[in-house]
Amino acid sequence: MTGSPPATAAHRPSPRICYCRDVDEAAIRAAIRAGAGDVDAVADRTGATTGCGTCRFDIEQLLADELARAAERAAPAASGRGEAPS
């Protein structure tokens, strides 16, 4: 066998989002999942956006993605998905 084993999600490095505060995507997603519901809350928890501010758009995108995922996780019960067929 040659080379490195294939990267898996668990082994793939998380991309850096905020270069000023050295905050990566995983830390931002974790902050959102822990309750940060807007950019200011993410900033409070991680420090991202508190330097030059150019990462703000990327954090808004991560917020939208995480909030959409949370809505999808909540949706199966409301939409009937996940229920056993009758």
- Segment lying near ligand FES (by CB under 6 A), choices 4-12, 33-41, 50-58, 69-77: 50-58
- Out of 42, 49, 62, 66, the only residue in the binding site for ligand FES (CB under 6 A) is 49
The set of long-range contacts for 49-53, using a CB threshold of 8 Å and a minimum separation of 24, is: 49/18, 50/20, 50/21, 51/18, 51/19, 51/20, 51/21, 52/20
For residue 3, give the DSSP letter.
Answer: S
Q: Which of residues 15-44 bind ligand FES (CB under 6 A)?
A: 18-21
Closer residue to ligand FES in complex, CB, 12/16: 16
In whole angstroms, how close is the CB of 2 to ligand FES at the nearest point? 38
By the rule CB under 6 A, 71 interacts with ligand FES: no
Within 1-86, where are the H helices?
Answer: 25-33, 39-46, 56-79
Give phi and psi for 85, each to the nearest 5: -65, 145
Binding site for ligand FES (CB under 6 A): 18-21, 48-55
